[in-house]
Amino acid sequence: MAGFSDEEILIFGLMDCPEESVMDFISKELNRRVLRPHLNGPQRHVLADKWATQALLASIGVPVPKLYGLYHPRLGMTAAGEPLTTPHECAELIRGELPCRLFLKPRGGQQGQDVRVVDVAPDPDGIPCASSAAGTQSLAAFLDALPMEAGEGHGRSCEGYLVQGFIEQHPAVAAFNPWSVNTVRIITFRRLSGEVTIDAAFLRTGRAGAQIDNWSQGGLVADVDLATGAVTRAFGSLKHEAPRRVATHPDSGVAFEGFVLPDWPRALDACSKAARVFSGVRWIGWDVAMTPAGPVIVEGNSDWSIATQLVNGAYLGPGRRAELEREIALPDRLPSLPRAFARVVRRELRRGRRWVLRG
């Protein structure tokens, strides 16, 4: 049941890890098959809906980015409940704020896929135009080109794009990489008693020219000390190979170690409050942006990557293991060689059968 992949063995350095310490790590398979199904109930589908999540958090005073509304040709709606289904309605919504920068993301997107950052300004004739990495075009053409099928993995329950004001990040955090909003992922865990604890945190920064900060998409990640908000160590991208430890950001040259995140206690408080709202999702990764006015919660994830154990350390330390084993059966040793070999054989046979079925 441990089920470590070749990639995880490489990332976590399990070949050089004492056997009694290997089982302190959580594999993606154990996470997918055992932990998440038990800890994160049906309410995770609400959390996956970024439109519903932001509206809910805002209603109880949790700081979130400025939200104009949800753009969709049929389902679109402004934050005030008015229609937002046409480019004209979108243009009228933001006309009083031009020029402005917008951030658009799929209502049910994952890992920063299909996000758009766009600068909107009127042309000499007063027609709103959108400038992005793809070039400049009319706002209408830009909106018409959005892939509305994004997020269909949620059974078409999360259609449309959130239209948000672009987040102005704190200058100290922007210094790492000004091209992307560099966020902190804060992991909350709700115990059986109802108490919310903070399990881990890590800073994510993008690379030069990139609009997202995801580790899996080429960004960097750094461990954050929970008590102080200080960065302790950082690693390069997971995109191509086992990540390497880095001292500074490769593009900006800003040093990671010793950097202290601004407004750290407020960020922890915001995530703890948000976690109590989603009490049916007990294990959540919150993405928090640090701004000059304080932290804002960008989104919450019930399916965040456990690959960051490389940065934060093995998750199943004595305290957490003992607590989880009160309700979940966890593996405490590696399978014997014959048993492991049998599992490999079964896995390869299943792969072969899929290959045959696919023709």
pLDDT digits (tens, 9 = 90+) for 121-157: 999 999 999 998 788 999 999 999 998 775 555 555 6
Mean residue pLDDT across the chain: 87
Backbone φ and ψ of 227, nearest 5° = -70, -35
Identify residue 30 by its one-letter amino acid code. Answer: L
Is residue 10 within 8 A of residue 242, CB to CB? The reply is: yes
Report pTM. 0.88
Q: Is the pLDDT of residue 301 over 90?
A: yes
pLDDT digits (tens, 9 = 90+) for 78-116: 999 999 999 999 999 999 999 999 999 999 887 667 888
Q: Is the pLDDT of residue 348 over 70?
A: no
Q: Is the pLDDT of residue 249 over 80?
A: yes
pLDDT digits (tens, 9 = 90+) for 220-247: 999 999 999 999 999 987 655 667 899 9
CA 273 to mean position of chain CA atoms: 18
Q: Is the pLDDT of residue 171 over 90?
A: yes
Task: Check residue 356 and give its pLDDT.
Answer: 35
Task: Check residue 353 and give its pLDDT.
Answer: 38
Task: Check residue 239 and give its pLDDT.
Answer: 59
Share of the chain above pLDDT 90, in %: 65
Task: Check residue 341 and give its pLDDT.
Answer: 43
Domains in the chain: boundaries: 66-166
The band of 354, judged by pLDDT with boundaries at 50, 70 and 90, is: very low
pLDDT mean over 159-164: 94
Task: Check residue 336 and give its pLDDT.
Answer: 54
